[in-house]
């Protein structure tokens, strides 16, 4: 139900049933000094008509144009059947599958999701999602410290070409637990991890490798992984799931493969929607399954030999391990995972490969077209997937403002996060962009360069 009308009489009856006089009595264990007298900045109550009017006005501010922004949130085509199925009542409201006997459909769907993610990452096991890609990295860091018994340190090597938001979230979550995040610079020529700086940090517990990295460039994942393992360092891969349909997956990086893979699942069937919701994924080796945070669904047989699905290996604080839990996560993004399961099932292995190939092909088409503009420089001499950093001959801030005012969002201003990359824009091309879209971008950019002083 979208509206449940509790009258004063209904509330009084419920309170009387549990033996209290008012709702505040439910919170009498909270000390008075922890309570706030007033909520400053909170507007007064509004009725439904007023709320609908305000929300409608806010929605009208949404801009619809050509979007070339990526940087961790990507626009892909989502077949209509994905969300037609995802929003069916049996999936839409089936949030927490604690009662296995009543949740077989939900549990089976999550099991299928885990199986597909494990295959995509070439790993043994996947969890059933985390809050988002950034918090998934933080959890992966804490997990790496737990599984690396050979190191006493809590040092984690964090390359500077990692997504800045991921780094910020990881810092907020992990450094309060004694973790030390070590910055490693990137090579200004190719945007890749500066490997010369690694040897001085051989005492680290884990190395984080984002591939493609924040600039869209492809790292030497085999060499980095083998170096880390030679120093008994755990490898944490941060990857784009669409790219993994085309690139080498983390589970087979180097001789042994990355130990943990994580990232943002949004590209797999979740639309861009004013900043969310997203979900984080995580996969790992079977030997680390007990240290994997979040929900895990397993398949078993009942006493009659019938196949069934059940939550298993629960290392969450709400379950039996309590203070020994590997994580305090008690929320999975079940609805987003449902959409991703529908998306991957619909496309299949070859379909995902085709999407990834189309993204890469259209990026190359874009780069060829953009290079013809006077003063434009494609930054970083490296292989790419579907993003590229472009250095502008004039103010990137003014160029972005001009192009957005004409219906095209050209990308992310990298100087917001990397001051040395002045007038540089990170642009993303996915399979939804046509040749006409790319030409519209190039033409408008050429116009902007002529108009802006």
Domain boundaries along the sequence of the chain: 66-74+349-451, 80-343
As a whole number of angstroms, the distance between CA 140 and CA 102 comes to 32
The values of phi and psi at residue 451, to 5°, are: -80, -40
Q: Which of helix, strand or coil describes residue 167?
A: helix
Tokens read off for 25: 């009595």
For 281, the token pair is 């994924």
Omega into 246 within 30° of 0, i.e. cis?
no
In Å, the largest CA–CA distance within the chain is 78
- C-alpha 59/C-alpha 284 separation (Å) is 40
Q: Looking at 41-45, 144-148, 233-237, 407-411, which range is the least confident one? A: 41-45
Answer yes or no: is pLDDT of 284 > 80: yes
Q: For residue 184, count other CB atoms closer than 10 A to its CB.
A: 21
Nearest to 346 by CA among 112, 75, 82, 105: 82
Q: What is the per-residue pLDDT for 74?
A: 97
Q: Which residues contact 296 (CB under 8 A, 6 or more apart)?
A: 114, 125, 127, 128, 289, 311, 312, 313, 314
Mean pLDDT to the nearest integer, 344-356 = 97
- How far is 379 from 395, CA to CA, in rounded Å? 16
In CATH terms, the fold of domain 80-343 is 3.40.640
Q: Is the peptide bond before 394 cis (omega within 30 degrees of 0)?
A: no
Closest residue by Cα to residue 148 from 261, 250, 236, 220: 236
Cα separation of 124 and 115, whole Å?
9
Structure tokens at 259: 């130990």
pLDDT at 268 over 90: yes
Q: What is the mean pLDDT of residues 180-205?
A: 96
Task: Supply the pLDDT for residue 44.
Answer: 84
pLDDT at 330 over 60: no
| 385-408 mean pLDDT | 97
Fold for the domain defined by 66-74+349-451: 3.90.1150
**Residue 88 predicted with pLDDT over 80:** yes
Tell me the Ramachandran region of residue 195: left when phi exceeds 0, alpha when psi lies from -120 to 50, beta otherwise: alpha
Chain segment 115-146, per-residue pLDDT in tens: 999 999 999 999 988 999 999 999 999 999 99
Decide if pLDDT at 1 tops 50: no
pLDDT of residue 391: 97
Indicate the pLDDT class of residue 318, thresholds 50, 70 and 90. low
Q: Lowest-confidence range among 11-25, 68-82, 198-212?
A: 11-25
372-382 pLDDT tens trace: 999 999 999 99
* E strand intervals along 219-270: 234-239, 260-264
Highest-confidence segment of 20-34, 50-64, 361-375: 361-375
Between residues 293 and 238, the one the model is more confident about: 238
Do residues 411 and 425 make contact, with C-beta atoms less than 8 angstroms apart?
Answer: yes
Mean residue pLDDT of the chain comes to 92
pLDDT score at 5: 78
| pLDDT at 312 > cutoff 70 | yes
Q: What percent of the chain has pLDDT over 90?
A: 76
Mean pLDDT in residue range 166-174: 96
Average pLDDT over residues 278-290: 95
CB atoms within 10 A of CB 222: 13
Task: Please give the Cα distance from 130 to 320 (Å, whole number).
Answer: 20
Residues in the chain: 453
CA-CA distance, 29 to 124, in Å (whole number)? 45
Residue 247: pLDDT band by 50, 70, 90 thresholds?
very high
What are the backbone dihedrals phi and psi of residue 191, each rounded to the nearest 5 degrees, phi first? 75, 10
Report the percentage of the chain scoring pLDDT > 70: 94
Question: What confidence category does residue 165 fall into, taking pLDDT thresholds of 50, 70 and 90?
Answer: very high
- Let me know: does 227 contact 195? Beta carbons within 8 Å: yes
Average pLDDT for 307-333? 70
Average pLDDT over residues 3-20: 88
Mean pLDDT of 296-300: 91
């Amino acid at each position: 139900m979208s509206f449940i009308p509790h009258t004063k009489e209904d509330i009084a009856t419920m309170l009387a049933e549990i033996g209290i006089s008012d709702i505040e009595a439910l919170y009498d264990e909270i000390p008075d000094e922890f309570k706030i007298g007033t909520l400053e900045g909170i507007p007064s109550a509004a009725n439904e008509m007023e709320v609908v009017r305000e929300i409608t006005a806010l929605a009208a501010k949404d801009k619809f144009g050509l979007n070339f922004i990526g940087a961790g949130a990507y626009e892909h085509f989502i077949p209509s059947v994905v969300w037609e199925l995802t929003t069916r009542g049996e999936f839409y409201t089936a949030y927490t599958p604690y009662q296995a006997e009543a949740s077989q459909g939900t549990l089976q769907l999550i099991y299928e999701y885990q199986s597909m993610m494990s295959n995509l990452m070439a790993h043994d096991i996947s969890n059933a999602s985390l809050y988002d890609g950034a918090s998934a990295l933080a959890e992966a860091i804490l997990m790496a410290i737990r599984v690396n018994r050979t190191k006493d340190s809590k040092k984690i090597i964090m390359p500077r070409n990692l997504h800045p938001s991921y780094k910020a979230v990881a810092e907020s979550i992990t450094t309060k637990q004694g973790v030390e995040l070590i910055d490693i610079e990137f090579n200004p020529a190719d945007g890749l991890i500066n490997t010369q700086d690694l040897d001085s940090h051989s005492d680290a517990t884990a190395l984080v490798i984002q591939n493609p990295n924040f600039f869209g460039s492809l790292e030497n994942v085999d060499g980095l992984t083998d170096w880390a393992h030679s120093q008994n360092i755990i490898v944490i891969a941060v990857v784009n799931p669409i790219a993994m349909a085309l690139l080498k997956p983390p589970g087979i990086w180097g001789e042994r493969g990355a130990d943990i893979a994580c990232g943002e699942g949004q590209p797999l069937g979740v639309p861009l929607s004013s900043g969310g919701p997203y979900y984080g994924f995580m996969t790992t080796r079977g030997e680390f399954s007990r240290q994997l945070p979040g929900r895990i669904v397993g398949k078993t047989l009942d006493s009659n030999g019938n196949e069934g699905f059940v939550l298993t290996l629960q290392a969450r604080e709400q379950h039996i391990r309590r203070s020994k839990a590997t994580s305090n996560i008690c929320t999975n993004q079940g609805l987003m995972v449902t959409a991703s399961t529908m998306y991957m099932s619909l496309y299949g292995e070859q379909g995902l490969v085709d999407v990834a190939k189309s993204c890469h092909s259209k990026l190359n088409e874009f780069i060829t077209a953009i290079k013809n503009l006077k003063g434009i420089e494609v930054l970083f001499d490296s292989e790419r997937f579907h993003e590229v950093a472009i250095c502008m001959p004039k103010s990137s801030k003014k160029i972005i403002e001009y192009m957005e005012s004409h219906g095209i969002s050209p990308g992310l201003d990298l100087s917001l996060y990397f001051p040395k990359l002045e007038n540089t824009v990170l642009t993303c091309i996915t399979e939804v962009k046509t040749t006409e879209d790319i030409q519209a971008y190039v033409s408008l950019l050429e116009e902007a360069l002529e108009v802006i002083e």
